[in-house]
Amino acid sequence: MSGLLQGKTGIITGALDEHSIAWKVAEKAHEHGARIVLSNAPVALRMGKIQELGDKLNAPIIGADATNSEDLENLYKASMEALGGPVDFVLHSIGMSPNVRKNRAYTDLKYDWYLKTLDISALSFHRMLQAAWQLDALKEGASVLGLSYIAAQRSFPDYSDMAEAKALLESIARSFGYHYGMRKNVRVNTISQSPTKTTAGTGVGGFNAFFDYANDMSPLGNASAESCADFCVSMVSDLTRMITMQNIYHDGGFSSVGISSKVMHKFAPEPEVD
């Protein structure tokens, strides 16, 4: 299968290094024929490897702090100039919690950091949508995607205040999805991805344990960043044009499993006899 995004243009945020989910999405979108602009926070442009990706994919790189509406307006204006008008898709692949990064317990959060978590990881999604709306920067039927995690629905102690950020992110997809659908058939969705070994992912306490646990619980195993990128390509293609306001699990089945035989085996290595 190829050429799913032939003739399409898009903005991809959040590619920090080759492990980033956004990095894989950019590569796959390019493979499928899309022309893209890459964006990340100014500090990530200095520290990360995005220039390497931009060179490889011949994609302009435009810095934007996702918590700054002016930066986002500039991102759309510069992207429309580079790509020749309103775009077909936007990927929001942005997340960060100072509380998680500095190992604050959930029962001892710093509230100014908590607000930062919500601002960077969730309100930024609204800001991106609102800036696009006000500049009319999306084409008819465009697709906007955010990346979420199942801690929005279930408790994962070490995910801390990022759980609330993801719940808010998913809610924004529903709320803005309504308005943008009515206005221009634009779709807005979130993808709830398996634990993935990236900078953001591995920054969560106990990551390796819950990565292995999720892998053992999921009939298909954990979904890799590459498979997430494949799914993102399909979600911004015309094949999924009637899906909107959804949070879709891309997790190898994890979200529907109560217990798996692999996990049971860890607690009862020998078959139990009544």
Ligand X SMILES: NC(=O)c1ccc[n+]([C@@H]2O[C@H](COP(=O)([O-])OP(=O)(O)OC[C@H]3O[C@@H](n4cnc5c(N)ncnc54)[C@H](O)[C@@H]3O)[C@@H](O)[C@H]2O)c1
Residues interacting with ligand X, by CB under 6 A? 13-14, 16, 20-22, 40-41, 44, 65-67, 93-96, 120, 147-149, 193, 195-196, 198-201
- Distance separating alpha carbons of residues 89 and 86, to the nearest angstrom: 9
Instruction: Specify the residue, 6 or 199, whose C-beta has the smaller distance to ligand X.
Output: 199
Please provide residue 272's backbone torsions phi and psi, each rounded to the nearest 5 degrees: -80, 140
Instruction: Specify the residue, 95 or 177, whose C-beta has the smaller distance to ligand X.
Output: 95
Contacting residues for 186 by C-beta, under 8 A, at least 6 apart:
138, 140, 141, 142, 143, 144, 177, 180, 244
Are the beta carbons of 229 and 21 closer than 8 angstroms? yes
Contacting residues for 50 by C-beta, under 8 A, at least 6 apart:
15, 16, 38, 40, 44, 61
Distance in Å, CB of 130 to ligand X, minimum: 15
Distance in Å, CB of 100 to ligand X, minimum: 10
Please report where in the chains the tokens 């959060």 appear, as a residue.
109
Instruction: Specify the residue, 158 or 185, whose C-beta has the smaller distance to ligand X.
Output: 158
Distance in Å, CB of 12 to ligand X, minimum: 10
Q: What is the CA radius of gyration of the chain?
A: 19
Distance in Å, CB of 73 to ligand X, minimum: 14
Instruction: Specify the residue, 224 or 260, whose C-beta has the smaller distance to ligand X.
Output: 224
Instruction: Specify the residue, 104 or 139, whose C-beta has the smaller distance to ligand X.
Output: 104
Distance in Å, CB of 218 to ligand X, minimum: 13
Distance in Å, CB of 47 to ligand X, minimum: 8
* Cα-Cα-Cα-Cα dihedral sign, residues 201, 162, 121, 241: positive
Distance in Å, CB of 54 to ligand X, minimum: 13
Query: Which helix H or strand E contains 213, and what residues bound it?
Result: helix 207-217
Instruction: Specify the residue, 42 or 141, whose C-beta has the smaller distance to ligand X.
Output: 42
Query: Which helix H or strand E contains 266, and what residues bound it?
Result: helix 261-267
- Distance separating alpha carbons of residues 50 and 15, to the nearest angstrom: 6
Tell me the residue number closest to ligand X, measured at CB. 201
Question: 81 to each of 35, 40, 56, 194, 228, how far by Cα in Å?
Answer: 13, 18, 21, 35, 29
Instruction: Specify the residue, 16 or 59, whose C-beta has the smaller distance to ligand X.
Output: 16
